[in-house]
Amino acid sequence: MASQAAAEEDATDDPSVEMHPKSFEITDRPAEAMVPQKRISARKVLFKIEQPSLTNPDYALRKDKLEQSGDLSAAMSEAITPISSSKKRVDYLAGLVALSCLAVTFVHFALTFIPYVGGLASGQHYSYEEWARRIVGPYLLTPIWIGPFFTTSSRFLAQRYLRDGQLSDIANKMLLRAPRMLIPVIIIAMLEYFLIDQGITATLEYLPSVSWSTWPYVTNYPNFGYYINCMIELAFLVPNAAPQVVSYYCVGVLWTIPVQLQNSYLVLLGVVMVKDIQTPWKRFAFYSFCILNHWYAFSWGACFWVGLVLADLDVTYKWIKWIQARPVVHYPFLTLMWIIALAAPTFYLVQDRLNYPLMDVEKGWHPDPETGLPMAQTPRAGYPSYYDPRLNTLMFAGALQVIVEVSTWVQWFLSRPILIWLFPHIMTIYLIHGLIFWSLGAWLCVTLDGLGLPYWANMLIVVVVCYAVLLLVSVGITFVTEKTARAACRTVWRWASEEPVAKLNTLFPYPKDQFLRRVKDDRLASGDPEKVEDPQVHPPEDATTKEKKQEKEQELKWQDKNQEYLFYFLLKECINIPEAR
């Protein structure tokens, strides 16, 4: 903010610089006529103008402008600062998303190969899996790790508008959110479509005889039209629902795409409303109203509103510095958040070990969207589906996000280089890990079992090989998907934000009838005595001569038309060439 304010002050002090956000035009006043101090100030302003595009102008553009102003030599003597300085990424939030992504893959690995530890009722290979189910299962191998994806996504979407208040940022995210999310999904789904069609998951049907897990299942699309329909459905599906693509995709993780996409628009519209509520108690009363209503309405939007609250507290009210400066408040508050974060996954332990249907009861409180009755009184009563929001997921995501924001120890852990390195690849890891587990993992598990290897040793080899291949494949696929998505987003934003270039004729700079007039021009060049004279050179003749000339012109037009028809007929005959030829 300080650098932006300084740039604005420099621009107002120097009347010789006329800024334009698209063209970078400056006045024709030569640089030599300016005071040296003013010239330096003008150059700084020129390089700090914020661009409405996704990428900053390259060095060549800045060099051209300096050459026009006559100040290239001075600019070459010192480093040229970028137009918009790069924002420092919040590394611990990136580490949180990477850790959550890995936890989700652990859940799916357990459900595929060690189902009893993952929470299924059968598939126990060893007696010590009972303790792993009680200790590791509820806190690591549970669906609650999907919650931090939603809270951090909301924070990343809203924090820039909360800081700058520029509606152009909202327009940018509104326009580009869908292609940014859907293009990697479409590419990887098509890749899986091709590989499954080639039989890469053929060994999966033999895996239950070794792993004792019937959870993994995938089938191929009946035809390409089903694939197109499933991809379109992802863009318009209203949560909570399972998209059809989950049956044709390795591990049904794509149900989160509609949740992310639809609630992204909710966050972007909500932050515009919140920005205009200046009174703090009204602002947070509005937050509380939205969170409670979304939770009661059985909507994932509650997680996104929690992320928006935390972003607003940090950007607008600087609550992290305030609470860290007061140890009397800091440590009790941090302890409370840890209690909530650990209590949330305990719901699964109570449901599984104590046989108390806590998850069923919580779902039964919510109204049924079809009848308006509590779900406990409808056929939808029972354990929530994997795509349904849950109270413990909301509690865990909110408490963990607060812990990450407040605790410097947790921030240090989440800022480790390995997690930061994983962050650019988490989307690919999230989308492709099921294919690795159900193809390479299934084949390796069945093959090692055929060699007589104990199951615990089998699993050690499978987990190491699968995750090593997953990381290597993700790096390569990320390069393709990210390059494609970013290029598409740049193009879409340029179409939406810049004035279109004036269209030119296909034959420019030649006339439109360049080819149609060829025969007529040949007649005129051959000295035909009946050629049409220019009316501007020769005076008009009598009615009889004029009528004859019109008839002649009409005849020439018909001849031209006949030649065109003959050309089209010959072209058609050339296209329909027999196979023997």
* Residue 577 scores a pLDDT above 70: no
Q: Rounded CA gap, 191 and 461, in Å?
A: 26
Q: Which residue has the higher pLDDT, 190 or 16?
A: 190
Which pLDDT band, with edges at 50, 70 and 90, does 120 fall under?
Answer: confident
* Residue 519 scores a pLDDT above 60: no
End-to-end CA distance of the chain: 73
Which pLDDT band, with edges at 50, 70 and 90, does 165 fall under?
Answer: confident
- CA 580 from chain centre, in angstroms, equals 51
Q: Which residue has the higher pLDDT, 174 or 39?
A: 174
| Peptide bond before residue 243 is cis, with ω within 30 degrees of 0 | no
Q: Which residue has the higher pLDDT, 295 or 123?
A: 295
| Domains of the chain by residue range | 2-76, 91-497, 518-575
Q: Rounded CA gap, 62 and 240, in Å?
A: 50
Tokens representing 348 are 């699964």
Tokens representing 387 are 């795509």
**Which of 139-143, 279-283, 447-451, 563-567 shows the lowest mean pLDDT across its residues?**
563-567
Taking only the tens place, the pLDDT of each residue in 5-52 is 444 334 333 333 333 333 333 333 443 444 344 343 433 333 333 333
* Residue 521 scores a pLDDT above 70: no
Answer whether 344's CB lies under 8 Å from 396's CB. Answer: yes
Residue the block writes with tokens 């407040």: 406
Phi first, then psi: give them for residue 119, nearest 5 degrees.
115, -5
Which pLDDT band, with edges at 50, 70 and 90, does 542 fall under?
Answer: low
Taking only the tens place, the pLDDT of each residue in 406-456 is 999 999 999 999 999 999 999 999 999 999 999 999 999 999 999 999 999
Mean pLDDT (whole number) for 497-518: 72
Q: Which amino acid is it at 360?
A: D
Q: Rounded CA gap, 161 and 158, in Å?
A: 6
Hey, how many other C-beta atoms are within 10 angstroms of the C-beta on 177? 19
* Residue 526 scores a pLDDT above 60: no
Taking only the tens place, the pLDDT of each residue in 369-396 is 888 899 999 988 888 988 999 999 999 9
Q: Rounded CA gap, 231 and 61, in Å?
A: 40
Instruction: Specify the length of the chain in residues.
Output: 581
Taking only the tens place, the pLDDT of each residue in 52-71 is 333 444 444 444 544 555 44
What pTM was estimated for this model as a whole?
0.72
Q: What percent of the chain has pLDDT over 70?
A: 74
